[in-house]
């Protein structure tokens, strides 16, 4: 089969396409890429999540790297994606492989690749890796036990270096001593135990839910920190009298936020809060990088604080290179992934959660009050998204429908511009937008909108479906 890399790498259904043979082929392709780039002698970091057999697929990847004489640091347990990314920098490695499907359904697993800065690899290099994947599944490998004995593979604990980095970036002590009551939804993923480890020993209390390994991800459709997946976890906020809820996805590179009433705060509002936190509370200045699919509140904040904004296509394969290029203060996307200056140019759901906790501590405001504070600055904004699965045979028809659409109004609001950075974004007279684009990882078309008119959200989304010919 032909393996195609999407937004972050390759994801597929376990035992159908995601097999040991195909994983080894991917590993060989990445090994060849590292050799061509002159980075093979720097070694590679390999980590994995809590999904079915993830640790065994990681070992299979390490065996191929060893056979290519590429030294491998293999994590000694399941590890949050941001800790794997930071390990690349800490080890001065040539890149990383992460065996994870992040927020995908339980049936899936993935093969993500990272560059020497711990960030996503840009699209043109992902294409090169694809082309280097051999057709033949009979790739060289050295059994893990032999590779460990020969020193070609070293198992290591990635936690201490990552913990030190977190403590450099956030005043963890003040959060630990703040007396907060924090609910953490681990979504059965790699975040299990991390917030208790960071915050235990003071007056702040941490309560975890969904904090074991269960690759079936019960109580949710998938380990993605958006409704309805967050609903069961948020039901514990009132029961525990929590001040807020921090929610991480399966590999802990994304964050979701629940307020003191157990209400979900959507990812666009969270990005607005993080932007406001850095600009106002921390007093920092620098470029903001955002995907086309996330909030225009950042554009309004940037104008008021006189900092530049750069908009990219969807995915950290676009965000990470731009962050490095412009030395961005913060970068992020609509899915709840945010990255920060002085760290790796990669999503970090644990660090983002710490920053949100610090914002509560530094301002003395509850999450709902923080949202009111933000809206006083930029006005209320409302967001929603619809995902629609489609038959592959209809893709060109849907694309043609959207490409030729020139609506005068959307949801009753005048359409003032069309932007085609990634998909088709229709700008509306209130400064809001409708975006219609194909997912980079699934046969799904996504219809998103943000507007200052709460009563227009569903009408805008319905117009997006109509433009695509899906209603």
pLDDT digits (tens, 9 = 90+) for 214-271: 999 999 999 999 999 999 999 999 999 999 999 999 999 999 999 999 999 999 999 9
Helices (H), 241-288: 267-276
Q: Please report the pLDDT score of residue 59 as a whole number.
A: 98
> Is 182 in contact with 357 (CB distance < 8 Å)?
yes
Please say if the pLDDT value at position 443 is more than 80.
yes
Please say if the pLDDT value at position 411 is more than 80.
yes
Distances 129 to 6, 33, 231 between C-alpha atoms, Å:
12, 6, 39
Q: Please report the pLDDT score of residue 179 as a whole number.
A: 98
CATH of region 9-159? 3.40.120.10
Tell me what the mean pLDDT of segment 131-144 comes to.
95
Please say if the pLDDT value at position 407 is more than 90.
yes
Half-sphere exposure of residue 336, counting CA atoms within 13 Å on the CB side? 29
Q: Please report the pLDDT score of residue 309 as a whole number.
A: 98
Identify the sign of the CA torsion 298, 299, 301, 307. Answer: positive
Span between the terminal Cα atoms of the chain, in Å: 34
Tell me what the mean pLDDT of segment 281-290 comes to.
98
> Nearest Cα to 181, choosing from 242, 239, 245?
242
For the chain, residues classed under CATH 3.40.120.10 are 9-159, 171-378
Half-sphere exposure of residue 280, counting CA atoms within 13 Å on the CB side? 17
Identify the sign of the CA torsion 66, 72, 77, 83. Answer: negative
Please say if the pLDDT value at position 346 is more than 80.
yes
CATH of region 382-468? 3.30.310.50
Distances 453 to 102, 229, 428, 456 between C-alpha atoms, Å:
33, 26, 11, 5
Beta-carbon contacts of 180 under 8 Å, excluding residues fewer than 6 positions away, are 204, 205, 243, 244, 357, 360, 361
- Percent of the chain residues past pLDDT 70, beyond the cut: 100
Please say if the pLDDT value at position 442 is more than 80.
no
The helix/strand/coil state of 286 is coil
Please say if the pLDDT value at position 7 is more than 80.
no
The rounded distance, in Å, linking the Cα atoms of 429 and 152 is 60
- Go through 27-55 and write b for each residue having 16 or more CB atoms within 10 A of its CB, e for each that does not: bbbbbbbbbeeebbebbbbbbbbbbbbbb
Q: Kindly report the average pLDDT of the chain as a whole number.
A: 96
pLDDT digits (tens, 9 = 90+) for 36-50: 999 999 999 999 999
> Nearest Cα to 326, choosing from 337, 336, 311, 338?
311
> Is 119 in contact with 324 (CB distance < 8 Å)?
yes
Q: Please report the pLDDT score of residue 315 as a whole number.
A: 87
CATH of region 171-378? 3.40.120.10
The rounded distance, in Å, linking the Cα atoms of 340 and 134 is 36
The rounded distance, in Å, linking the Cα atoms of 143 and 62 is 9
> Nearest Cα to 278, choosing from 349, 333, 331?
331
Identify the sign of the CA torsion 159, 165, 168, 171. Answer: negative
Structure tokens at 160: 């201490």
For the chain, residues classed under CATH 3.30.310.50 are 382-468
The rounded distance, in Å, linking the Cα atoms of 47 and 37 is 22
For residue 228, cis peptide bond before it (omega within 30 degrees of 0)? yes
Please say if the pLDDT value at position 440 is more than 80.
no
User: pLDDT tier at 329 (50, 70, 90 boundaries)?
Assistant: very high
């Amino acid at each position: 089969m032909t393996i195609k890399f999407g937004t972050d790498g390759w994801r597929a259904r376990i035992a159908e396409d995601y097999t040991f043979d195909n994983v080894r082929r991917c590993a060989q392709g990445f090994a060849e890429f590292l050799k061509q780039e002159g980075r093979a002698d720097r070694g590679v970091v390999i980590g994995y999540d809590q999904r079915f057999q993830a640790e065994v697929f990681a070992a299979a990847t390490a065996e191929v790297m060893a056979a290519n004489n590429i030294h491998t640091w293999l994590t000694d347990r399941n590890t949050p994606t941001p800790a794997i990314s930071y390990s690349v920098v800490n080890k001065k490695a040539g890149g990383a492989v992460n065996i994870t499907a992040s927020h995908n359904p339980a049936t899936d697993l993935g093969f993500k690749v990272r560059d020497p800065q711990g960030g996503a690899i840009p699209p043109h290099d992902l294409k090169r890796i694809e082309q280097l994947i051999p057709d033949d599944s009979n790739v060289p490998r050295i059994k893990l036990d032999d590779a460990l004995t020969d020193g070609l593979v070293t198992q290591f604990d990635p936690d201490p270096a990552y913990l030190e980095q977190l403590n450099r970036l956030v005043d963890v002590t003040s959060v630990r001593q703040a007396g907060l009551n924090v609910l953490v939804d681990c979504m059965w993923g790699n975040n299990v135990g991390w917030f208790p480890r960071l915050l235990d020993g003071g007056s702040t209390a941490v309560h975890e839910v969904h904090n074991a390994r269960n690759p079936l991800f019960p109580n949710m459709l998938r380990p993605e920190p958006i409704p309805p997946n967050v609903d069961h976890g948020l039901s514990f906020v009132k029961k525990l009298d929590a001040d807020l809820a921090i929610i991480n996805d399966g590999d802990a590179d994304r964050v979701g936020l629940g307020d003191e009433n157990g209400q979900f705060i959507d990812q666009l509002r969270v990005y607005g809060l993080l932007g406001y936190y850095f600009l106002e509370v921390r007093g920092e200045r620098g470029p903001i990088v955002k995907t086309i699919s996330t909030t225009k509140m950042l554009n309004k904040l940037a104008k008021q604080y006189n900092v530049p904004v750069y908009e990219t296509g969807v995915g950290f394969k676009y965000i990470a290179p731009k962050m490095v290029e412009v030395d961005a203060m913060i970068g992020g996307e609509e899915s709840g992934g945010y990255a920060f200056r002085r760290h790796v140019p990669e999503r970090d759901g644990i660090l983002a959660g710490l920053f949100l906790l610090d914002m509560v501590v530094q301002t003395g405001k509850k999450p709902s009050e923080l949202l009111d504070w933000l809206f006083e600055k930029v006005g209320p904004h409302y967001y929603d998204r619809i995902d629609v699965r489609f038959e592959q045979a209809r893709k060109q028809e849907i694309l043609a429908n959207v490409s030729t659409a020139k609506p005068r109004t959307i949801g009753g609001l005048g359409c003032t511009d069309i932007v085609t950075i990634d998909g088709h974004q229709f700008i509306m007279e209130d400064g809001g937008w409708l975006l219609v684009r194909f997912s980079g990882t699934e046969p799904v078309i996504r219809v998103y909108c943000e507007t200052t008119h709460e009563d227009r959200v569903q009408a805008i989304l319905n117009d997006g479906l109509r433009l695509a010919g899906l209603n």
